[in-house]
Structure 1
Amino acid sequence: MFDNLKPNEIEDWICIFERGTEYEVEAAKNYLSNMDIPSQILSKRDSAFSLNIGDTALVYLYVPKEYEQQAREAMEELDLPAESDSDKEEE
């Protein structure tokens, strides 16, 4: 049912980060903000059931296309926990 979910395509914005928990994406957004890189969060989290795992709970971080390279380099320096093995198996 939820096979091959991908971030939404938003004109002039690129998804650079996705996780199953909002706090990780918020941390990344704050990190980019401190580097003057604009970003926006798109959450597909099901608030009715407060799920934070699986395909119905993904949270995405987008940056304007012109900031993509700078944001990706910054994200490589950010020390966030890696995706769990169960997240990788779903992909």
Structure 2
Amino acid sequence: MDLLDDSAVNQRLTGVPEWRREGDEIRRKITARDFPAAIRIVDEIAVEAEKLNHHPDIDIRWRTLHLALTTHDAGGLTDADFTLAARIDEIAAPHT
């Protein structure tokens, strides 16, 4: 998987406006309606991550999820990160 340059990363971020870049990662915070909804989001993300063979870092704090994406094998951000970020946005929308 090819690394995206800064220009490509900035362009791709326009398609996932809830995400922000921090170094070689993109990050997002999701606040679910309640704890069970937060767990449902994580479950749905897990299924999608397995399909894409690309897995986010997820920290669960009650009903708040902190997510980080990077392509470790490539050493930074790739198309896979933005594909999963967009899918996470779709998954989270009905639960927030």
- TM normalised by structure 1 equals 0.46
The structure where helix makes up a greater share of residues is 2
Q: Looking at both structures, which has the greater relative contact order when contacts are Cα pairs under 8 Å and sequence separation is at least 6?
A: 2
